[in-house]
Each structure stands twice: as C-alpha cells, then as structure tokens.
Amino acid sequence: SDKPARNTTAWWREADRKHHLSPFTDYKQLKESEAGARIVTRAEGVWLTDSEGVRILDGMAGLWCVNVGYGRKELAEAAYKQMLELPYYNTFFKTATPPPVELAEKLAEITPAGLDMVFYGSSGSESNDTVARLARFYWKLKGKPEKAHFISRTYAYHGSTMAAASLGGMTPMQEGYGLPLPGFHHVDPPYWFDFGGELDREEFGRQAAKQVEDKILEIGPDKVAAFIGEPIQGAGGVIIPPDSYWPEIQRICRQYDVLLVADEVICGFGRTGYMFASEHFGIEPDMMTMAKGITSGYIPLSGVMVSGEIGRTLVEAGGEFFHGYTYSGHPTACAVALANIDIIEREELVRKVREETGPHLAKRLAELAEHPIVGEVRSLGLIGALEIVQKKRPRTRFPGNGKAGTICRDHCFAHNVVLRAVRDGMVMAPPLTISTEEIDELVSRLRTCLDLTA
Ligand code: PLP
C-alpha cells in the first residue's frame, strides 16, 4: 500500500491530520496545507529538533513555559523517584502527601509577602477557574454573597475553560460560545502603542486604570468580587503597562474592597527578572495564579496563592469549599516543581535575567527599533515584543489586520526560529537559560525575517 511507514514524519503527519484535534487550529486549513504539522521530536537547552533533524531556536520556551530550558535530567530524576515511591495519591478528604506540602511551604517563601497558602490544579485555566469560585466563596463567607462580579481586560488571556475564557478578553474565544458568562466584565488594556494616541505614557496608564474604577462604580462596589490581570499581558501581545498603572489599580481595588488577582502564569518564576512580576510593579495581590514556569512545563501543575486574610477566613469561617481536581497537589508534579525551583535558585536564573540576559535582549531589540517596519520595541527581562508598522510617521499599520505579523511569523518558522505573532506584533519569551550568543542569533534571524516582511 502507499501508507507511509510507521513512526516516520509522513506517518505522524497523516495520523495527526486524521485523528488529532489540536488546540487553536483551523482543521480545514491544516488538512489542505501541503506540509502538515511540524513534528518536534527532541530538545536540548533552547534548541528543538524536528523529525527531519532540523534544529530550531525556541524563542517562545514552548508556550512561555520551559523556563529552565530543555533536557534537564534533575527534573526527569525527580519525577522518576517520586513515581516509584508514590506516583499519585489524592489530597481530598483530609489526606495529604509530602510533595504538595513541601512545595506549599516553598511557594509561601518565594511569593510576595502576604501570600501564604496555595490551592493546586494542573493548568493555568484551572487555577483561574479556581479564582472565580474561590473569590465568590470568600465573599459568601464574609457575609457579602452579592459580591460576585469580575472585572478583567480586553486582550487578556486567562485560559480556555468557560470561566477562564470569560475572564479573558479574546473575543474570538467568546463570540458564538455563549461567553463571557454573566457577571464577567471587561475594560481596555493599558496598551499605549495602540490606544495611547497623543497621551503621555504615564497619563495614559492612569486613564486606563480609571476605567476599572468607572466599571466598579457602574456595576456597584457591593457587587464586585475581584479584578484580575496579568502583570504583563502575554498572549495578548506582551503589553507592558506604564509604571503609573498598577499602583493606581491597587489603590482602586483597596478603596472599593475588590480583591486584586495577579495572573502570573506567564510572568512567574523569573520571566521578567523577578521571581514574580508583581514585585517589579509593586503589586500586592490578594490572590496570585501560577502554572507554566512552576515546573518549566515538564509536567502539568498550577496553583492559586491566597493572602493571609483569605486563608484565615477560609480556615476560621468553616463550611466546605466544594471545589477541587483529581490532580490537585499531584505528588509527581509537585516533586518536579520543587526540583525546578531548586534549579532556578541554584543557577541564579532570576538575577541573570535581570542583570545579564534581559538587558542584553533589550539592547539588541533597541537596534531593531531602527528597522523601517518596526514601530516600537519593548521588553522586561526575557519577555519582549516588537510592533510591525508600514510607516513610522505618521504611524500606519499594514493593511490586513494582523496579516503582516503572520507573514513575519511564518518567515521565522521557515528560518528555524519560533516566535509568535499577535496581531501585527512579534512576541518572544525564550528559556531563561538562553545565552547572550543565542539571543544574538535569535535577533539576527528576526531581522532577516523583518527584511523579508517589509
Ligand atoms: N493565564 C495566562 C496568563 C496564560 O498565558 C495562560 C496560557 O497561556 C493561561 C492562564 C492558561 O493556562 P493553561 O493553558 O495552562 O490552561
């Protein structure tokens, strides 16, 4: 027959087309595309290898998650050891196992002051779903059950489950899916490049924060449970807010007794040159969600950290929190997380990102700002973006609503560097172990692809 031999590129592609429904994929387009999916088979450091033996520079750390880089034996060994000892046991019904407890203590130590208890899940989406229920449960315990509404932002990404996608601000994920659910409201993001107009950056930041206050007053402060935001909106385009933004958001949340939730799923575990970006922006969240970098993506794990006040209320008020996942506190995942945090600390990755590789990326990106189709570059630590424009003055985007970004991204893929396009922006988030030479290589390939896009 003309069926390809098993476990070859052609066979994997055919099986992928026939039997696999991948996330965020146009299945018709994939079916009709000649090449099909690129099959990645191995990786080491920041380099992926595909099934044809081609080496690809991973400028996205997978999906913003492989913080300690690929091929870390310590993580495989931690999983192996834990699987032999106790691969799984639940943490429901007054039982616990050692790894989630040890990790909880560690997380209380490394997260910003005030956060000291954790509720586990397996994905960022689950952690944000937990926030949606936990915030309502908390206010019920406080005798204010009507405080049940949530405010978040356009272009936010908080996950794909129904509540997380409602918190998110991606309209294609909502329209036609019955979302957002009732009680989920959105305001504009602090996205100066597209929405700032003639305003000074800091003034724009204050006005963006004011939208949250206006929304609280519109809904009624007695009805608002929480505001949630990523310190830097990642999947929405690496939107780094003006310095004026977060302190103002915090002041507003405190004034109206609205819980402040930081989604650190991307920003956490060193990405920005701080263990958590909340430290950089001066955010003291009441809850913080984390996933991805907690295990560097080696195994699924997520968590919601809660403040002492929320923790005390849960412990003292009594009443069961009817919520949880089979894999909450999965011992193998938690053992890998502990080994992962150990690597981050031992190799001083956070300091290196803040003092060495982050500034190096910023410097190399600043050179790209001179490119004729680059309208702005921005980065903090090892998360960065550049905006593609047709003309710098007056600033004009290419026609096609994101088409230029897609073209540039496809050039990057063909040049064996993985970057993502968000509308007409290119975003990057390489592993935190990337060397300065590898950053040079990434930026040089990106420059070539910008030339080809122009
Ligand atoms: N929150 C943020 C900020 C994210 O970037 C993501 C995923 O990209 C999520 C939540 C959802 O995480 P998961 O895909 O693990 O459900």
Ligand 1, residue 291: give the atom nearest the CA.
Answer: 15
Say if domain 74-346 classifies as CATH 3.40.640.10: yes
Which pLDDT belongs to residue 200?
97
User: Confidence class of residue 3 from pLDDT cuts 50, 70 and 90?
Assistant: confident
**pLDDT over 90, % of the chain:** 96
How many angstroms is it from 393 CA to the middle of ligand 1?
36
Q: What average pLDDT does the segment 62-82 reach?
A: 98
**Does residue 124 line the site of ligand 1, with CB under 6 A?**
yes
User: In the predicted model, what is the mean pLDDT of residues 216-222?
Assistant: 98
Is residue 401 predicted with pLDDT exceeding 90?
A: yes
Cβ(306)–Cβ(117) under 8 Å? yes
Q: Is 60 in the pocket of ligand 1 (CB under 6 A)?
A: no
With 0-12 / 13-18 / 19 or more C-beta atoms within 10 angstroms meaning exposed / middle / buried, residue 443 is buried
Query: For ligand 1, is residue 159 a contact (CB within 6 Å)?
Result: yes
Domain(s) labelled CATH 3.40.640.10 in the chain stretch across 74-346
Pairing of the two strands 374-380 and 383-388: antiparallel
Ligand 1 centroid–CA 299 distance in Å is 14
For residues 40-58, give the mean pLDDT. 98
Supply the mean pLDDT for the chain.
97
Q: What is the pLDDT of residues 27-43, one digit of tens each?
A: 998 888 877 889 999 99
Find out whether the beta carbon of 78 lies less than 6 Å from any atom of ligand 1.
no
Ligand 1, residue 234: give the atom nearest the CA. 5
DSSP three-state, residue 337: helix
Asked: is 38-68+348-453 a CATH 3.90.1150.10 domain? The reply is: yes
The CB of 266 under 6 Å from ligand 1? The reply is yes
Tell me the residue type at 185: H
Mean pLDDT of 432-442: 98
Tell me if 234 CB under 6 Å of ligand 1. Answer: yes
Distances (CA, A) of 87 to 80, 146, 298, 332, 333: 9, 42, 15, 6, 9
Evaluate: CB of 263 within 6 angstroms of ligand 1: yes
Bigger pLDDT: 82 vs 33: 82
Give yes or no for residue 212 CB within 6 A of ligand 1.
no
Locate the ligand 1 atom nearest the alpha carbon of residue 124 and give its number: 12
123 lines ligand 1 (CB under 6 A): yes
On the question of pLDDT at 318 being above 90, the answer is no
CA 24 to chain centre: 16
Q: Which residue puts its alpha carbon closest to atom 10 of ligand 1?
A: 158
DSSP 3-state of 265: coil
Å from CA of 265 to ligand 1 middle: 6
3-state secondary structure of 305: strand
Q: Is the CB of 241 under 6 A from ligand 1?
A: no
Residue 423 in contact with residue 405, Cβ under 8 Å? Answer: yes
Whether residue 265 has its Cβ less than 6 Å from ligand 1: yes
Whole-angstrom Cα distance, residue 129 to residue 154? 18
Cα–ligand 1 centroid distance for 157 (angstroms):
7
DSSP codes, 378-435: EEETTEEEEEE-SBTTTTBPPTTSSHHHHHHHHHHHHTTEE-EEETTEEEE---TT--
pLDDT in tens, 126-177: 999 999 999 999 999 999 999 999 999 999 999 999 999 999 999 999 999 9
Atom of ligand 1 nearest to the CA of 123: 15
Question: Could you give the residue range(s) of every CATH 3.90.1150.10 domain in the chain?
Answer: 38-68+348-453
Q: Which of 63, 240, 266 to mutate to test the pocket of ligand 1 (most atoms within 8 A of CB)?
A: 266
User: Which of 65, 123, 127, 157 has the most ligand 1 atoms within 8 A of CB, as the residue to mutate?
Assistant: 157
Residue 1 has what pLDDT? 60
Hey, whose CA ends up nearest to atom 7 of ligand 1? 159
Checking if the pLDDT of 2 tops 80, the result is no
User: Cβ(157) to ligand 1 under 6 A?
Assistant: yes
CA distance 82 to 88: 9
Taking the CA of residue 125 as reference, the ligand 1 atom at the shortest distance is 16
Q: Is 419 in the pocket of ligand 1 (CB under 6 A)?
A: no
- One DSSP character per residue, 432-445 reads TT--HHHHHHHHHH
Query: What residue type is 171 in one-letter code?
Result: T
Q: What is the separation, in whole angstroms, between the first and last Cα of the chain?
A: 46
Has residue 281 got a pLDDT over 70? yes
Instruction: Report the separation in Å between the CA atom of 6 and the middle of ligand 1, taken as the mean of its atom positions.
Output: 34
| Predicted confidence (pLDDT) per residue in 223-260, tens digit | 999 999 999 999 999 999 999 999 999 999 999 999 99
Ligand 1 closest atom vs CA 263: 3
Residue of 153, 173, 265 to test ligand 1 pocket, by largest number of atoms within 8 Å of CB:
265
Q: Residue 197's pLDDT is what?
A: 93
Task: Give this complex's ipTM.
Answer: 0.99
Sign of CA dihedral 238, 260, 128, 268: positive
